[in-house]
Structure 1
Amino acid sequence: MKIKNRVTDMLGTEYPIVQAAMGWIARSPLSSAVSNAGAMGIIETSSGELDAIREEIIKMRDLTDKPFGVNVAQAFVRDPNIVDFIIDQGIKFVTTSAGDPVKYTSMLKSAGLTVFHVVPSLSGALRAVEAGVDGLIVEGAEGGGFKNPRDVSTMVLLPLVCSKVDIPVIAAGGILDGKTMAAAFALGAEGVLLGTRILSSAESPVHQNWKDAIVEAEETDTVFLNRMGPGPALRALRTERTSRLQKHPSDNIFAEFANVQDVYFGGDLEAGIALTGQVAGRINDIKPVAQIFDELVSEFHDVIGNLHENYGVSR
C-alpha cells in the first residue's frame, strides 16, 4: 500500500502524508506515532519553548527510527538563532510557515535540509518558489489555525497553484480521508497534510473535551475570526467565546491565547480558542493514528480504482 512519488522520495516516508505542526500539541508522543505509521511526524516550535523542543527531539529518536521534521512558524519565533538550533539537532526536513520564505530558506537549504513552505495564496506560492523551497504546502481556508484574512478554499487555491509551479505540492485544509486525498491528487497535489483529524486521534495529547467537541461538531461548527485584523485571521471551534469574538472582534487576537494550556490540556474550551478545521464536521470517532492512515490509504486506492473503472477511457 506504499505510495511512491516526489514527496515520498523527498521525505523518505511510506505515505505522502504530513502532520500539521500544532503548537504545544505536536510533540514526541503524537509525532512519533505519525512517523511510525508511515507518514511524516512534525515537531512544533511555535510554543517558543526550545529547551523543551530539544528534549522532544531526543525523545523522538528513542520512539521512532522513521523520518520526522520540525516546523518553524516564523511569526512566533523568539530566538534569532532558530535555524542554527534546528541544524544542531540534526533535522533534515523543515516546514516553514507564517512568514516570508526568503527569511530562512537559503540558510536551511545551504545546510542540506529539505524545505517546504506553507502558502495561502498564489502570490505566496510564487514567492516561495523564487526563494528556492523544495516544495509547497498549499493551505485552504477550511483548515484550522492561523489563516490568510483573504480566505480561499482548497478547491480553488490548490489547482491554481499547481498550474503555476513545477515543484511538489502538499494539500492542506479539508483533508481527512481517502476521498479527500484522492480529490487533492486530482487537483494536482502529490501529498496531503492532516491537522484536525490527527488532533482528534487517540494519541493526541489534548483534553478529551476537545476531542469530544470535534466528534460532536457539525460542518458549521467552526468560526473564521479576525478577518479585519490586526494580526492574522484564524479558524477555530465554535464555542460561546469564539461566537462572541466573531461578532465583536478582539483588539489583540494573540491575547486570546493567554490560557492556551487550560484549553488544550485542561479541557476548558471557553478559556481561550481551540483551533479546529471544518473537517471536524466529518469526524465521527477517535482512532489510533495508524488506523487512520491505514484506512485513508486503502480508501484512496479504492476511490482512484473506482473512478478509473467507472469513468476511465479504454485505449
Structure 2
Amino acid sequence: MQGNRLCQMLGIARPIVQAPMGWIARAQLASAVSNAGGLGIIETSSGELDAIREEIRKMRDLTDKPFGVNIAQAFVRDPGIVDFVVEQGVRFVTTSAGDPNRYCRALKEAGLIVFHVVPNLAGALKAIEAGVDGLVVEGGEGGGFKNGRDVSSMVLLPLVRAHTDLPIIAAGGMLCGRTLAAALALGADGIQMGTRMVSAAESPVHQNWKDAILAARETDTVFLNRFGPGPALRALRTEKTSRLEKDPGPNIMAEFGHARDLYFAGDMEASIALSGQVAGRIDSVRPVRDILDSIMAEYEAAVAALPRAA
C-alpha cells in the first residue's frame, strides 16, 4: 500500500497483520499471511518454545517475506524469552498481556521494532512512556483475552490517536475493506485480524470451530470473567461458555486445560473457543490470499464511494 508508513516500517505490501493466537499462529497460517502481502505473526503464548523454534524454521522455508513474533507476557515461562526472540532473527515483535516496560528496552536494544497491545488510553500512555515504536489498539469487540472494562474500537482508536503520533494497528472488529477504511479514518495505520484468520483455509483449527464461526450471529459471542480473578475473555457462545458467563468459577484459565481437544479435535465443549464479534459477519472459509485481496479491493471501492459530508 504505497505511502502507508506501517507498510514501510515493516516491509510489507498491505497493512494487515495476523493476530498471534496460541497454537494457531504458527507457520502454516503465518506464512500464508506474509506471502499474501500482510504480516504473519508467530505466537509464543503456548509456551512450547522448542516447537516455536521449529515453526520459525518452517516459516523461512515457506516464505521470504517479513514476519514477526509475539510475547504474551502473562504466559511467559522462560526467563530467557527476550534472548529466544532475538535469536530467531525477526525484526518485529508485539508484546501483550502485561507491563510494556518489562521487555521493551531489551528488545529495542537488540534492534527489534516493538509494538505493545493496549486496551485503553492508560495502557497506551504507559506503552508510549516505555518507548515502544507503535501500538496495537484493541477494541473490546475483539476475541481472546480482554480487559474487563472493555472499550469499542470506534471510541478507542480516535482517543489514542489524539494522544500520539506513533503508528497504530487497529484490532477488534477488523474484517474487511470497509473496516480497514474505517480504521484508517479513525487514526490507525493498519489492522490486525484474529477471528477471520481462525476461519481461513490455512488455519490449523478443526473444521468444527470454523463451522461454528460461520454459523454465528453477531450476538453469538460471550464476554467472560469480567470481574476476575484473571483475564476477561470474549469467546463463541457454546453450552460451556453460556454456563461460564453466569459463573466463571475461581480460575477460568483452568478451562484451557483441554484446549487442544477443541482446537484440533473439534470438541467445542472441551474448552473455550475465543472469538470476536466479527464471527457474525463471516460466512465462508477462504484462502488467506483471497481474504487479503478482497480486503484491499473493497477498501479502494469503499474510499471511492464515500459520500461528501456537506
Q: TM-score, normalised by structure 1?
A: 0.97
Amino acid at match of 1:301: E
Distance 1:185 1:11 in 2: 17
Deviation at 1:3, TM superposition (A): 4.0
Within 5 Å, which residues of 2 pair with 1:112-131? 112-131=111-130
CA distance in 2, matches of 1:132, 1:233: 27
**Larger deviation: 246-255 or 17-26?**
246-255
How far 1:4 sits from its partner (Å)? 3.0
Partner of 2:308: 311
**Partner residue, 1:30:** 29
Q: Which residue of 1 aligns with 2:206?
A: 207
3-state SS, counterpart of residue 86 of structure 1: helix
Counterpart in the other structure of 1:94: 93
2-side partners of 1:166 and 1:311: how far apart? 26
- SS of the aligned residue for 2:137 comes to strand
Residue by residue over 1:21-52, the C-alpha shift from the partner in whole angstroms, topping out at 9 and shown as x without a partner, is 00000000000000000000000000000000
Please name the residue that 2:248 is paired with: 249
Find runs of 4+ consecutive structure 1 residues off by over 3 angstroms: none
| 1:1-315 correspondence to structure 2 within 5 Å | 2-307=1-306, 310-311=307-308
Structure 2 unaligned runs (5+)? none
Report the CA distance between 1:249 and its aligned residue: 1.6
CA distance in 1: counterparts of 2:134 and 2:3, whole angstroms:
16
Aligned partner of 1:28: which letter?
A
* Letter matched to residue 302 of structure 1: A
DSSP-derived class of the 2:214 partner? helix
Cα drift, residue 247 of structure 1:
1.0
Tell me the alpha carbon deviations over residues 63-102 of structure 1, each in whole angstroms, 9 at most, x when there is no partner.
Answer: 0000000000000000000000011111110010000000
> Do the aligned residues in 2 keep the contact of 1:140 with 1:152 (CA within 8 Å)?
yes
Percent identical pairs in the alignment equals 69
1:15–1:39 CA contact under 8 A, matched in 2: yes
**Aligned mates of 1:84, 1:248 — CA distance in 2:** 40
Q: What residue identity is the alignment partner of 1:225?
A: L
CA offsets 1:161-181 (integer angstroms, 9 cap, x no match)? 011111011100000000111
Whole-angstrom CA distance in 2 between matches of 1:172 and 1:3: 22
Amino acid at match of 1:168: P
For residues 149-198 of structure 1, the C-alpha deviation after alignment (integer angstroms, 9 at most, x for no partner) is: 01111111111001111101110000000011111111010110000001
Q: How many matched pairs?
A: 310
C-alpha separation between the residues in 1 aligned to 2:31 and 2:128?
A: 30
Structure-1 separation of matches of 2:288 and 2:29: 8
Q: Which runs of 5+ in 1 are unaligned?
A: none
Query: What's the CA shift string for 1:208-237, capped at 9, x where partnerless?
Result: 000000001000000000001000100000
Alpha-carbon displacement from aligned partner over 1:100-142 (angstroms, at most 9, x marks no partner): 0000000000010001110001000001011111100000000
Secondary structure of 2:203's partner?
coil
Displacement of 1:312: 7.1
